[in-house]
């Protein structure tokens, strides 16, 4: 999906300073709109994956329905890890927004 490439390579590279959390926070605060676009791109990606997984669960081919759902929600699943990561990003944004007030 092109939206993942845009979010991870077009936006994250500009915002995240490796090994320097304070500078990363300053960059995010300076480019808050870009950070929000990043979150929106990743939310669109997650929603599209949920739709695709729902379709794969409702219309299974050679597997049972429960097996398809269990495999897609396994602890090591990249979808679940992405959702957790994006939720942490949203918490970070809310924390910075609250500290400005």
Q: Is the pLDDT of residue 16 over 70?
A: yes
Q: Is the pLDDT of residue 4 over 90?
A: no
Q: Which of 6-20, 32-46, 47-61, 76-90 has the lowest mean pLDDT?
A: 76-90
Q: Which of 32, 44, 61 is nearest to 6 (CA)?
A: 44
Give the 3-state secondary structure of residue 62.
Answer: coil
pLDDT tens track for 25-73: 999 999 999 999 999 988 898 888 888 888 777 766 655 555 555 555 5
DSSP-derived letter for residue 84 is H
Q: Which two tokens stand for residue 26?
A: 């300053």
In this prediction the pTM is 0.55
Residue appearing with tokens 């699943």: 77
- Identify the pLDDT of residue 33: 93
Question: Which residues, 6+ apart, have CB-to-CB distance to 90 below 8 Å?
Answer: 39
Chain centroid to Cα 101, Å, comes to 26
């Amino acid at each position: 999906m092109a939206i993942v490439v845009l979010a991870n390579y077009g936006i994250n590279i500009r915002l995240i300073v490796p090994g320097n959390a304070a500078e990363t926070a300053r960059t995010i605060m300076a480019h808050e709109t870009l950070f929000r676009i990043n979150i929106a791109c990743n939310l669109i990606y997650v929603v599209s994956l949920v739709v695709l997984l729902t379709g794969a669960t409702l219309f299974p081919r050679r597997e049972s329905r429960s097996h398809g759902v269990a495999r897609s929600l396994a602890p090591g699943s990249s979808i679940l890890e992405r959702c957790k990561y994006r939720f942490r990003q949203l918490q970070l944004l809310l924390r910075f927004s609250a500290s400005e007030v």
